[in-house]
Amino acid sequence: MKVVTVVGARPQFIKASVVSAALAEAGCREVLVHTGQHYDANMSDVFFEELGIPRPAYQLGVGSGTHGRQTGEMLIKIEDVILEEKPRIVLVYGDTNSTLAGALAASKMHIPVAHVEAGLRSYNRRMPEEQNRVLTDHISRWLFCPTQTAVENLKKEGLTRGVCRSGDVMLDSVLHFLEVAKELPGKSDIFDTLGIIPGEYRLATLHRAETTECGLSAIRQIFAAFEQLPEKVVLPIHPRTRALAQEAIAEGGFDNILLIDPVGYLEMLLLTSSAKQVLTDSGGLQKEAWFLHVPCVTLRGETEWVETLRGGWNVLAKLETEDIVQKALSTVPDESVRAEAPFGDGHAAQAIARELTQGEISF
């Protein structure tokens, strides 16, 4: 059975690493398509090298652009790949423009779509990610839900056929690659390189469109909060946020922020697992913090991962200095809630491969 898998962004490379291995074990032939949505070497190439993912059969090189232009160019190029490869299934991940473009191209050509991470909802339709995930869910044949909450979200929208609570493939990745990271020689050197001590720093990321679209004023508010925290804040800077961050630091004198280039997934796992706290607007990092027993402050008004809010392991904060500081310093997580294991048992990739190879391919 041939599967065309469409990826384009950093989190999708990580998810694909474990699912691709499971598909290969199940006897599937996978054709990997990289749209080029993330094209910076630190956001793309390094992941294929570190995670042992086969090089993409197709590199579409779409790059950045407005949402409509980027999605449209991807749609055209993915359609050409499907015409060439004639797969039985097109597999997409998450909620990026690459996700929607892959799903639309397949659906228009009557190729069944499998959506990994289906059913997530922030209920904020201003988010491009929310638009992408809702549209993708409604044209997918297989809906692989990481949690029971995601299953219930789909049920509210009348989607019950093809729904599978697979568990979260990111948990699979974290459990596997954290051990890999610990065993690789030299990987732990990142702490010495950055001049930080495990457990005595906070880790932050900023990249969401709703953060950057608020402009320099929002970055100033966030950085002013970071400046008031008792530990150094390590901030691997996303290309989208770099200019704003550098401008804020240049004019504001924020000495408590250690701005660094993006790091590979293995180094990011080491930084996350050893952080005192995570502060982020990223959906994926919220979960990784949960998996690694690290408290998190989410710099957004809502989260798709409501399970992480249980017991105060993740708290939401406005993009305002006072609220961020208050949430960062006052929240004490409850260890007992972790026994519920809402994200599965770490074998989601095998569940997905099993459903795709054994399930009936029809609408």
Give the model's pLDDT for residue 44: 54
284 pLDDT band, cuts 50/70/90, is confident
Is the pLDDT score of 187 beyond 90? no
Q: Average pLDDT, stretch 149-175?
A: 97
Give the model's pLDDT for residue 264: 84
Give the model's pLDDT for residue 243: 83
Q: Average pLDDT, stretch 142-160?
A: 98
Please state, rounded to an integer, the average pLDDT across all residues of the chain.
Answer: 91
Strands (E), 281-328: 296-298, 314-316
353 pLDDT band, cuts 50/70/90, is very high
Q: State both tokens at 325.
A: 């500081």
pLDDT digits (tens, 9 = 90+) for 99-136: 999 999 999 999 999 999 999 999 998 888 999 999 99
Q: Average pLDDT, stretch 326-343?
A: 92
- CA dist 104 and 138 (Å) reads 10
Q: To 5 degrees, how large is the angle CA 274–CA 279–CA 281?
A: 130
Strands (E), 16-122: 29-34, 58-59, 89-93, 113-116
363 pLDDT band, cuts 50/70/90, is very low
- Catalytic residue chosen out of the listed positions 34, 38, 115, 207: 207
Q: To 5 degrees, how large is the angle CA 336–CA 342–CA 345?
A: 105
Question: Are the CB atoms for 99 and 92 separated by under 8 Å?
Answer: yes
288 pLDDT band, cuts 50/70/90, is very high
CA distances from 34 to 10, 60, 139 (A): 11, 6, 21
Active site annotation includes 38: no
Indicate the SS3 state at residue 235. strand
Give the model's pLDDT for residue 49: 74
pLDDT digits (tens, 9 = 90+) for 208-219: 877 777 778 888
290 pLDDT band, cuts 50/70/90, is very high
Q: Average pLDDT, stretch 252-280?
A: 92
Give the model's pLDDT for residue 40: 53
Terminal-residue alpha carbon distance, the chain: 18
- CA dist 108 and 111 (Å) reads 8
Between 74-83, 86-95, 179-188, the lowest mean confidence (pLDDT) is in: 179-188
Is the pLDDT score of 76 beyond 70? yes
58-59 β-sheet, strand order: 58-59, 29-34, 2-7, 89-93, 113-116, 142-145, 163-165
191 pLDDT band, cuts 50/70/90, is very high
Give the model's pLDDT for residue 13: 87
Give the model's pLDDT for residue 47: 64
Q: Average pLDDT, stretch 250-269?
A: 88
Is the pLDDT score of 150 beyond 60? yes
